Structure 1
Amino acid sequence: MTWSENVIAGALARQTFNRKYLVVVPNCTWTGHECDLLVVTENLRVIDVEIKISRSDLKADAKKEKWWHRERLGYWPTVTEMRYSDWSNDLRPERIYRPARYKSTPKDWPRKVWKHYYALPKEIWHPDLLAALPSAKSGVLLLDRGGYPRPVGDAMRVECVRRASPNREATPVTPAAAVDIARLASLRMWDAFARLEQMGAA
């Protein structure tokens, strides 16, 4: 069996987040950015899990918009783009615009998130990769199919090599929002059943 996002997400949902958690939803954008796994705890706090299956993918995560706060400062000077015209045999303005100017500040947590984790195969992990993570507040979970000890029935060992630091400013989701997230999880389940039926009928 090769590693995939679904394999890792399934193991985390069944083993790590199967107790004391209200709901686990894959590929969810409820926070305003994509979460590979969005977990709502029993006290209605949000955990965002980013799943990686390669080192290059892990290193590229720091470029994502969810790790940056953009503050608009105004505009840069006007830019005129010129283009050569065969018809008139000269340069003519093609576009004139003023690019917006922003100040980018790194964020410790994505928006609305109480805790953030990276989950990846143990075989691709190296401690040097901690320096490549966009935030020192993120936790790291390593999955090992052949790892022991692990509880009877678990498909693989899940090891936490760095605990996530909680975002004290992240407020719990409202009960209504929790119901919406749970409804989304329910719909995802029925969509998955429908896909299985279509595969069986093919």
Structure 2
Amino acid sequence: MIKWSESVIARAIALQTLARKCVVMVDNCGWTGHECDVLAVTKDLRIIDVEVKISRADLKADARKDKWWQRTFLGYGERKEVFNDAGRLIRVERPSLYDVKALQHPRKVWKHYYAMPADIWKPELLDCLPSPASGVLLLRAMRSRIDVECIRRATPDKDAYKLTPEQVMDIARLANLRMWEAYHRRDQSKQREVVNA
């Protein structure tokens, strides 16, 4: 039986769902300004953001993330003086005022997906997603493999940000550095096993 983790799910999505459509993929990447569990760059230089969830609570909490909100500063509210018990002025407060608007797509993202184990999914969770444009990918453990099923396709952002070749190179460089760091951690782990044997 497979023990679900973010890395197990991200690997299955990267190798099965995105591999033929994308030129580069990076895990836990903040390149867009917000963390993407899997950031993938498509062949036409657009970003697919996959958010991996391993619990219902984690999925429900996602709607509060900054990536789903555009906040525009409007100025300051009325001045309020705060006094201590002796009547002495201790501070002056002026609350910040913002216009808050929900976003259909995270900034710079062409398509957004949620990926999670099928056994935590319930259809009523669609109402908990921060955007009706987000797709949903469910994973099932099948003996020696993982099957990925798309139960709702992501609606693309028709005005999506298109990467420049320099930006793609920047993301590819990050992916390359992470690969070498992963090799280093693997080698260190093997050396510790030899020393402890």
1:30-179 correspondence to structure 2 within 5 Å? 30-84=31-85, 90-146=86-142, 155-179=145-169
Deviation at 1:91, TM superposition (A): 4.1
Equivalent residue in structure 2 for 1:184, among 169, 174, 188: 174
Deviation at 1:21, TM superposition (A): 1.0
1:18 corresponds to which residue? 19
Partners of 2:17 and 2:105 in 1: CA distance: 21
- In structure 2, stretches of 5+ residues that fail to align are 193-197
Taking structure 1 as reference, are residues 2 and 82 closer, same or farther at Cα in structure 2, changes over 3 Å only? farther
Partners of 1:186 and 1:83 in 2: CA distance: 57
Deviation at 1:98, TM superposition (A): 1.1
Q: TM-score, normalised by structure 1?
A: 0.90
Residue identity matched to 1:200: K
- In structure 1, stretches of 5+ residues that fail to align are 85-89, 148-153
Identity %: 54
Q: TM-score, normalised by structure 2?
A: 0.92
Partners of 1:17 and 1:79 in 2: CA distance: 53
Partners of 1:198 and 1:94 in 2: CA distance: 56
How many residues align structurally?
191
Residue identity matched to 2:130: P
Partners of 2:3 and 2:80 in 1: CA distance: 50
Residue identity matched to 2:78: P
